[in-house]
Chains A and B, each alone.
Chain A
Amino acid sequence: GQNIDQPTEMTATEGAIVQINCTYQTSGFNGLFWYQQHAGEAPTFLSYNVLDGLEEKGRFSSFLSRSKGYSYLLLKELQMKDSASYLCAAMDSNYQLIWGAGTKLIIKP
């Protein structure tokens, strides 16, 4: 079957760094997506990885290891506005997104 696993909730301090892990099992693979979703709002696209390695985009970086079925989202210099849910999604061979349940990130001052 297809499955995405990510932690339910994480807590971090403003200004610090946090890494949100995601493991996936899909029928075929066409990339790994990370989305941010604030409470009451729709998800917004953060990153896409299809090749192994690290993609950096400002304060956010995303890493992929296809052989391990593993990805992480790294957030640096955390700000209070980063408090949100972070959704990991893998695209399968049919180009359908398989969604994780999301990781709620709580930022404390």
Chain B
Amino acid sequence: GAVVSQHPSRVICKSGTSVKIECRSLDFQATTMFWYRQFPKQSLMLMATSNEGSKATYEQGVEKDKFLINHASLTLSTLTVTSAHPEDSSFYICSARVLAGSYYEQYFGPGTRLTVT
């Protein structure tokens, strides 16, 4: 299957600072990438859909000025958590969608565990 990488895997930052998370599709081009957040023992929550070369589409309740998404190329999308607060501590997972024959498959990066102190 397709490989998606995510960096960093873990990050600890101080409250008020910004953190950038990178998501790369390694062996395919992804026109669409997704950013999810997952709190402990809860399901994935879609934050935004990112299409290459255009503005991301944010889900209801997700602040676009706080969670900046840039999808500048077909293999790279970045999520920047600005002015992070302890409540932003979570597991952030990116996913890339790829056309496999006549249907779409969706592959996940390994995730980034963010801890804001």
Contact = CB atoms under 8 A, between A and B. Distances in A.
**Contact residues on B (Cβ < 8 Å of other chain), bracket:** 20 to 34
Contact of A30 (B43, B44, B91, B103): B103
A42 B110 CA distance: 5
Contacts of A100: 43
B103 A50 contact: yes
B68 to A, nearest CB: 21
Interface string B96-109: 01000001111111
B103 A48 contact: yes
Contacts of B91: 40
B44 A41 contact: no
A44 B108 contact: yes
Interface in A93-109: 95-97, 99-102
A99 B105 contact: no
Nearest to B99: A95
Contacts of A102: 43
A42 B109 contact: yes
**What is the size category of the interface that chain A forms with chain B?**
20 to 34
Interface in A33-48: 33, 35, 40-45, 48
A95 B51 CA distance: 13
Contact of B105 (A43, A45, A87): A45
Contacts of B46: 96-97, 99
A95 B111 CA distance: 22
Given A96-B49, A101-B42, A42 B111 contact: yes
Interface of A: 30-31, 33, 35, 40-45, 48, 50, 87, 91, 95-97, 99-102
22 contacts: A30-B103, A31-B103, A31-B104, A33-B106, A35-B108, A41-B110, A41-B111, A42-B93, A42-B111, A43-B44, A44-B108, A45-B108, A48-B103, A87-B43, A87-B44, A91-B104, A95-B104, A96-B46, A96-B49, A97-B46, A99-B44, A99-B46
